[in-house]
Structure 1
Amino acid sequence: MKPEMMIQPMDQFNQVLFQNTHPARHQNPTPKPVYDLVVIGAGSSGLVTSVGAAQMGARVALIERMFMGGCCLNFGCVPSKALIRSARVAYELGRAKHYGICTGESLAVDFASVMRRVRQIRAKISYNDSVETISNKGVDVFLGEAHFIDKDHIEVANAVLPFKLAAITAGGRPMSPRIDGIDSSEIITSKTLFTLTELPSAMAVIGGGPIGCEMAQAFARFGTKVTIFHAHDHLLDKEDADAAELIQNRFKAEGIQVLLNSRVRRGKVHGKQKTLYYIQNGEERHITVDAVLAGAGRKPSVEDLRLENVGVEYDPKRGIHIDDHLRTTNKRIFSAGEICMKWKFTHAAEASAQLLLQNALLGHKKRLSDLIMPWCTYTDPEIAHVGMYEKEAVAKGYQVETVTQPMSAIDRAITDSETEGFVRVHLQKGKNRILGASIIAKHAGEMINEITAVMNAGGALNLLSKTIYPYPTQSEAIKRVSE
């Protein structure tokens, strides 16, 4: 798909975005005789790697096939969280009477204006990742398809870039389910979601992972009738069953149809509508919707790089094979971000890029496995986690003591009418050391940082018990756990 087809409608905001992230009049620079580092992919990890290397005095080239900023800026974190914010406002206005506020008889969602705001925010942030900004930081930016010619050269847009070291940070792309009877172009992915200007009246979401759950709830709050299909026993498979159940119950309360242990087998398109035939509990059933959204995860973008030419091993599902120091099977080529890691988060991409810089350019031996990685799913309530789950810790031989503090006993949560959820901490029994934690709360993504910081400082739970928390705050639940 051509870049301009992926940024629609071409209004004033998308014109700014396009000019920043893939300017039509950009002229690739004349390649230097040799680069200390060539970086393939200008997503989060590629930007951190290339700018960091340039600041260290290296001669750096950065190659981007589509859009500077990668998925996060253009199709992921930035637009999705802007969309979720509008959805939360709609939900809160719908509950205003609960707080003693009268807003009238009906609530109208202007979806075109919602999406206009999403495009406006994305355009504003895009300058940070733009060709101009990165070029001004001393990086040679090349737009075009990259592939390895041999162990010393990379080709892009008919130019050959000699390199001493290379970093592959090409990221990934959304997986789209194959549904017999429905062409893949009829299925919305994160790359086409933000081109919508009209609100679907009915939507099927395929996959109950983080992306599927976030978007299912957002569209339901705008007024779409949402059905979410998930092949397993509960949504958000990685999370504890009771945490997932809490989200499932919230979804059902908000009118989302949750179909667990279900698989879409085939479909039929008639006009603008699509009928999906699915199997659940051994029976075939069907629903008819206006839109089908793929929310079943992502896969690494390893094709077309010609990795075989340089001896870099990979596979289509796992991505590029790396060791714990982010080195590929070619000692002069490193990799970071979702193209090679199990963590598919922007902050993980940035953290791994920092390790890559230290290892590749400074000769350090920083380990990817040493990172303590938090993450958050931005449903409402949010689910955040860091470290090990209980079953992981037990599998590794730890004796585990688990402490759970319900949000329903926290005064600020009660005053806010946000009592769903809990703070759960897994401790190494007898040593009072935090092995992992989960938080389910309205602002869990903000709260998990406290526990992450303590784990980076050695994980002693008493560091939290010594901390004085302002009263009343929802994060007081963390102190309750420590007590």
Structure 2
Amino acid sequence: MPQYDYDIAVIGAGAAGLTVAAGAAQAGARVLIVEKESAMGGDCLHYGCVPSKTLIKSAKVYHQMRQAARYGLPEVAVPEVDFRQVRDRIQRVIAAIQPHDSPERFCKLGAEVEFGRAVFVDEHQARIETNAGDVRTVSAKTWVVATGSTAALPKLEGLDRTPCLTNREIFFLDELPSSLVIIGGGPIAVEMAQAFARLGSKVDVIQRSPQILSREDADMAGLVQGVMEQEGVTFHLGTEMLRVQDLGREREIFFKNGEGVEMSLRGTALLVALGRSVSVDGLGLENAGVVFDRKGVQVDARLRTSQKHIFACGDVTGAYQFTHAAGYEGGVVVTNAVFHLPRKADYTWMPACTYTDPEFASIGMNEKQARQQGLEYTVWTEEFAENDRGLAEEEREGRIKLLLDRKNKPLGVQIVGPHAGELLAEWVAVLGGKVKLSTLAGAVHPYPTLAEINKRVAGKHLSEKIFSDGVKKTLKFFFGFKGRACGDQSGP
């Protein structure tokens, strides 16, 4: 039997890779982690989830300071934002979390950490070129590719000669851009658009699709867009991008609008937020016989590549590029690779959240997906404008949408509203645990809370049956109910 240096070697120290490494090391496996950056934690910690949510919170507080009168408070003169202070806070938050994703912590768990680049030599060996300049070749019985993704840059004339920002630079600017042009209309684009507009930038969003958040239902995405427009963000939808140029202190982008008319916009900063590209270049995957393409490393339901002892998880597969999905997939790999128990990844109830204000959270199918699959469904909604806690907190925008199939089984839930991501957690438990809607409808929620909206929409479709004309006729027959005490008396 071949002897290997390690039981498991993990390439990439983001959410997926670290989940695998922690689980394998604690199970007693000899583990090596190889990370090309100078710190562990991946894009999420350094250039994604953590800095973006920190920035969004600062922007929300500043927005509320300027909206004091809305809460019955005296208006105050709010000074302009010094972005260096916002940037410093972002760095403090990252630093506070960093020890959780550190070589010291993983060494205590029993995993070795090497900073450098790993390139497969064959299906069991890889050459590691360390950041310190050393080179060594290691072997492992099992390999895990968890190299993540990077910001995708479009093939746009002039972009290679024009300074632009991606998620790697946007959080660490020396000053707030007076004007910001954003290419893209997905989650990153709209989150940054609102945050920078609230901090004081003039923001324009240029989107190829006729709606923002193009994978979502138009009515729900429209709620988010409407709020952002009220706050000063300008959207240019259904466009065709033509070229960009550097004007020194400004960047100019040319595009055709929805009517085919050529236009241009100028901004002191240009943010490109057009999705992600999987990080597969330079890994030598072809040397290991691993099948991949520009969309990602190909895996089966157990997250095995074309080489059954080599797994891939996280963004690099190109499937669900969320940190929580990466952590989930890491757990699936541990089950298969460490415990050798066959476990398949199941994305049926994979939640997602876009952290605009109001937030946009979802789980399961939306109407677009249900129609694409030819499913029959009904839609049930509740408005936050009718939620007492929402009214008390001046959080009136948004709604919850519940999709039921022809058998009244849930297909999916979408929430646009305050703390939608937190409210979705109840649906994660209900749908993942196969809890009946009648159980949720009958559950007692504290009053007043935003979460009452979950209970109300769950009970809405049940009430049609409970309080139907047929039920009322039956009750009248058996118990002699006299019917309405006021208003229309024509009913049963």
- Per-residue CA deviation, residues 206-238 of structure 1 (Å, 9 max, x unaligned), is 000000000010000011000000001100011
Q: 1:247 to 1:401 in 2, by over 3 A?
A: same
The question of whether the paired residues in 2 share the 8 Å contact of 1:375 and 1:385 is answered with: yes
1:455 paired residue number: 431
CA distance 1:287–1:393, shift in 2 (3 Å): closer
How far off its partner does 1:324 sit? Answer: 0.8
Where in structure 2 are the equivalents of 1:331-410 lying within 5 Å? 331-370=308-347, 372-396=349-373, 398-410=375-387
Question: Corresponding residue for 2:103?
Answer: 131
Instruction: Give the corresponding residue for 1:249.
Output: 226
Select the residue among 80, 86, 103 that pairs with 1:108.
Answer: 80
Q: Secondary structure at the match of 1:68?
A: coil
SS of the counterpart of 1:227? Answer: strand
Query: Is the counterpart of residue 162 in structure 1 residue 139 in structure 2?
Result: yes
Match of 1:290 in 2: 268
Shift of 1:127: 1.1
SS at match of 1:380: coil
Kept after mapping to 2: 8 A contact 1:229/1:263: no
Does 2:419 match 1:443?
Answer: yes
- Write the distance in 2 (CA, Å) between the matches of 1:108 and 1:478: 39
TM-score, L = length of structure 2 = 0.89
Q: How is 1:32-51 mapped onto 2 (pairs within 5 angstroms)? A: 34-51=5-22
Q: CA deviation at 1:390?
A: 2.7
- In structure 2, what is the equivalent of residue 273 of structure 1? 250
CA shift, 1:356, in A, is: 0.7
CA offset digits 1:354-377 (Å, max 9, x no partner): 001101122222221355210100
Letter in 1 for 2:233: I
Moved more, 345-354 or 241-250: 241-250
Q: Residue 467 of structure 1 corresponds to which residue in structure 2?
A: 443
TM-score (normalizing by structure 1): 0.90
User: 1:437 is matched by which residue type in structure 2?
Assistant: V
Deviations 1:61-94 (A, max 9, x none): 0000013100000100011110000000011111
On the 8 A contact 1:205/1:295 being kept in 2, the answer is yes
What is the letter of the counterpart of residue 42 of structure 1? A
Tell me, yes or no, if the aligned pair for 1:167 and 1:333 is still in contact at 8 Å: yes
Q: How many residues align?
A: 450
Tell me the equivalent position of 2:462: none
Contact 1:94 1:107 in 2 (8 A): no
Deviation readout 1:105-161 (Å, 9 max, x if unpaired)? 344322211111111111111111012222221101111111110122111121111
State the distance in 2 between where 1:474 and 1:151 align: 52
User: Percent of counterpart pairs with the same letter?
Assistant: 38
Which residue of the other structure, out of 229, 232, 235, is the alignment partner of 2:209?
232
Query: 80, 83, 99: which one pairs with 2:55?
Result: 83
Contact 1:454 1:463 in 2 (8 A): no
Decide which of 196, 199, 210 is 1:219's aligned counterpart.
196
Kept in 1, the 8 Å contact 2:162–2:244? The answer is no
Q: Deviations over 1:342-399 (max 9, x none)?
A: 2111000000100011011222222213552101000010000001113323444543
Q: Secondary structure at the match of 2:363?
A: strand
1:16-44 alpha-carbon deviations (Å, 9 max, x no partner)? xxxxxxxxxxxxxxxx9521111000000
Between the aligned partners of 1:240 and 1:116, the Cα distance in structure 2 is 37
3-state SS in 1 of match to 2:424: helix
Q: How far is 1:310 from its partner?
A: 1.2
Give a deviation string over 1:291-327, Cα, whole Å, max 9, x none: 00011111100100111111111111x1000011101
Does the alignment pair 1:173 with 2:125? no
- Pick one of 32, 56, 64 that aligns with 1:61: 32
Report the AA paired with residue 340 of structure 2.
G
Q: Residue in 2 aligned with 1:309?
A: 287
- Inter-partner Cα distance in structure 2 for 1:267 and 1:304: 29
Amino acid at match of 1:188: L
Of residues 143-152 and 106-115 in structure 1, the stretch that sits farther from structure 2 once superposed is: 106-115
On the 8 A contact 1:251/1:258 being kept in 2, the answer is no
Judge conservation of contact 1:433–1:459 (CA < 8 Å) in 2.
no
Query: Structure 1 residues 473-482 or 364-373, which shifts more?
Result: 364-373
Q: Give secondary structure in 2 for the equivalent of 1:338.
A: helix
For the structure 1 residues 454 and 192, does the alpha-carbon distance in structure 2 shift closer, same or farther, using more than 3 Å as the test?
same
Shift of 1:187: 0.9
What displacement does 1:401 show? 2.0
Distance in 2 between the 1:419 and 1:379 partners? 15
State the SS of the aligned residue for 1:114: helix
- Which is greater in Rg? 2
- Which residue number corresponds to residue 132 of structure 2? none
Deviation of 1:428 after TM superposition, in Å, equals: 2.3
Gap runs ≥5 in structure 1: 1-31
* Distance (whole Å) between structure 1 residues aligned to residue 371 and residue 152 of structure 2: 32
Deviation at 1:259, TM superposition (A): 0.3
User: Could you tell which deviates more after superposition, 147-156 or 79-88?
Assistant: 147-156
Q: What SS does the corresponding residue of 2:314 show, helix, strand or coil?
A: coil
Match of 2:379, SS? strand
Shift of 1:442: 1.2
In the alignment, is the contact (CA less than 8 A) between 2:181 and 2:270 conserved in 1?
yes
The yes-or-no answer on 1:427 pairing with 2:401 is no
